[in-house]
Structure 1
Amino acid sequence: MGLISLLWGIVAMLWMIVALFPLLGWGNWFLIPFAAIGAIIAAIGIALTSPANRGRAKTGLLLNGIVIVVGIFRLMLGGGII
């Protein structure tokens, strides 16, 4: 679960970078639910693994959380159209 959430977070982060370009802000409407699913997977990974092996899941949760916050901020700025 930790590896899946980490890879999910990396994909979400790359998608977020693309969605920061002008006229591609509409991508945030799809990015935020995508990253939320990754955060849920990371939370499940944290709950199901031993404390010594939670590093990847915690990193995935952090990446997905950053993407969600930046995506929401970007939507507030441009309304998702610009």
Structure 2
Amino acid sequence: MGNLLAYLLGLLSLVIVIPSQIPLLGWGNWFALPVIALGIALGALSSRTGGRNFCLVVLLIAVVRLMLGGGFI
């Protein structure tokens, strides 16, 4: 159950992260980070690791975008 919830939270955060790749919308990644962290936590509690790994990939995308934009842009 935790793995499925992690996948769903990962998809929700991916819907937020994808439009945040556009310049001047990078602030949307800050809204996605708590959702991603919750997905990673739920995925870690599960016996399977697919949902956690998916959330980690989404986290990587969001963090790289934040680093490139200086955290704001």
What TM-score comes out, normalization by structure 1 length?
0.77
**Correspondence 1:19-34 to 2 at 5 A:** 19-34=20-35
Q: Which runs of 5+ in 2 are unaligned?
A: none
Larger Rg: 1
Runs of 4+ in structure 1 over 3 Å off: none
Q: Which residue of structure 1 aligns with residue 5 of structure 2?
A: 4
Report the Cα distance in structure 2 between the residues aligned to 1:18 and 1:60, rounded to whole angstroms: 22
Residues matched between the structures, number: 72
Report the Cα distance in structure 1 between the residues aligned to 2:25 and 2:50, rounded to whole angstroms: 27
Report the Cα distance in structure 2 between the residues aligned to 1:15 and 1:60, rounded to whole angstroms: 17
Q: Which runs of 5+ in 1 are unaligned?
A: 47-53
Which of the two has greater helix per residue? 1
SS in 2 for 1:25: coil
**Correspondence 1:1-82 to 2 at 5 A:** 1-46=2-47, 54=48, 58-82=49-73
What TM-score comes out, normalization by structure 2 length?
0.85
Aligned alpha-carbon RMSD (Å): 1.3
